Amino acid sequence: MERTEYVAYGEPAYPEKLKKIHARPPGLYVRGKLPDPEAPAVAIVGARMCSAYGRSKAREFGRVLAANGVQIISGLARGIDGCAQEGALEAKGRTFAVLGCGVDICYPRENYRLYEQLIREGGVISEYPDGEQPVNWHFPARNRIISGLADLVLVIEAKEKSGSLITADLALEQGKDVFALPGRVTDPLSMGCNRLIAQGAGIALRPEELLEGLGIPFGKSDGKSKKMKIPLEKNEVSVYACLDLVPKSVDEIMAVTALPIQEVFQILLSLQLKECIEEAAKGKFVRRDFPV
């Protein structure tokens, strides 16, 4: 059983970055480690109910940034937060979660696997003592710690009214850079991000741009972002070609490719096995890792 440690303000371990922010927490409860003050840190935040596009992008940014030595700070929430942290762990990078409850409580529960992995390979941080329940007013407050621990905040997907925008506002108050992932103007989930860009936030086209913003030479690719040559058969290519990040049903695929249903089923499964596509919801398919 992992022990919770307490780092009070004034102790040497207390993060330097937090000392500077408004309403700094008097102390932090930690399981695992605290972020390395020497290494750069990026907070990746976004909607809990996100699209396949957001999920895939969050994972990619988390992975590429972490592979280049950037620490990923997030909130272990469903959706974008969890995906970004999973991406970072995939690249064997370090990632830290700031919770809105005691660090002995895994909230949301379905991220338990991630929570345990974070304790082993990164850290789980909170200003609340053990046993404190995740009540809703804790979450806006913990956002100041997420942005406070980071050098740069990246918003992946956010509706017009979103907790992620609170994090972005706090980051600006704290004098950090804010980047947002652009999306289609008609997508409600991209409204918040597009609005941030209109207000002057950086445009996160590719992870490399963020690295540049942090002054890190882009060296290591994560090995996955590179165009991989997966040998596909002719029909597989035509099915793959008609998919994008908007979920498509088997019927729509059949209408475009004019292939018989059994063949479409077979191709969809083999593409899933080759990790080219995934089933976003029952019977709806999207591409994985849309190349930028």
Partner 1 sequence: MFSSVLSACVCGIESVPVHVEADISDGLPVMNMVGYLASEVKEAQDRVRSAMRNTGIRLPVKRITVNLWPADIRKAGSAFDLPIASAILGALGMVPADRLVNVLIAGELSLHGEVNPVNGILAVAAGAREWKCDCCIVPKQNAREAAAVPGLTVIGVQTLAEVIAYLNDETALQPEYVNPEELITEGEAEGGMDYADIIGQEAVKRAAEVAVSGRHNLLLIGPPGTGKTMIAKRIPTILPRLSMEESLEITKIYSVCGLLQKEDGLIRKRPFRSPHHTVTMNALAGGGRIPRPGEISLAHLGVLFLDEVPEFSKPALEILRQPMEERVIHIARNRGNYTFPADFMLAAAMNPCRCGFYPDMEKCSCNTAEIKRYLGKISGPLLDRMDICAEVPGMEYERLTDRRKGESSAAIRERVSIAHEIQRRRYEGTPFRYNAELTPAAIGRYCTLGKKEEAFLAAVFEKLDMSMRGCHRVLRVARTIADLDGSNRILTKHLSEAVMYRMGDRKFWH
Q: Where does this chain bind partner 1 (CB under 8 A)?
A: 48-52, 78-79, 108, 110, 186-189, 247, 249-252, 254-255, 261-263, 265-266, 268-270, 272-273, 275, 279-284
CB count within 10 Å of CB 221 equals 14
Cα–chain center distance at 176: 18
Residue 264 CB, shortest distance to partner 1, in Å, is: 8
Residue 241 CB, shortest distance to partner 1, in Å, is: 19
Residue 284 CB, shortest distance to partner 1, in Å, is: 6
Kindly give the residue spans of alpha helices, DSSP state H, lying in the chain: 16-19, 52-67, 80-90, 112-121, 138-149, 163-173, 188-198, 207-213, 234-241, 250-257, 261-273
To 10 degrees, the CA torsion angle through 15, 16, 17, 23? 80
Residues 156 and 80: their CA atoms lie apart, in Å, by 7
Residues 169 and 167: their CA atoms lie apart, in Å, by 5
Residue 74 vs residues 88, 217, 228, 244: alpha-carbon distances, Å:
11, 23, 29, 27
Residue closer to partner 1, measured from CB, 31 or 248? 248
Residue 18 CB, shortest distance to partner 1, in Å, is: 30
Residue 262 CB, shortest distance to partner 1, in Å, is: 6
Q: How many CA atoms lie within 13 A of 180 on its CB side?
A: 27
Residue closer to partner 1, measured from CB, 99 or 145? 99
Residue closer to partner 1, measured from CB, 177 or 187? 187
Residue at 253: amino acid letter: I
Residue 186 CB, shortest distance to partner 1, in Å, is: 8
Residue closer to partner 1, measured from CB, 157 or 222? 157
Residue closer to partner 1, measured from CB, 140 or 188? 188
Residues 185 and 199: their CA atoms lie apart, in Å, by 15
Residue closer to partner 1, measured from CB, 90 or 279? 279
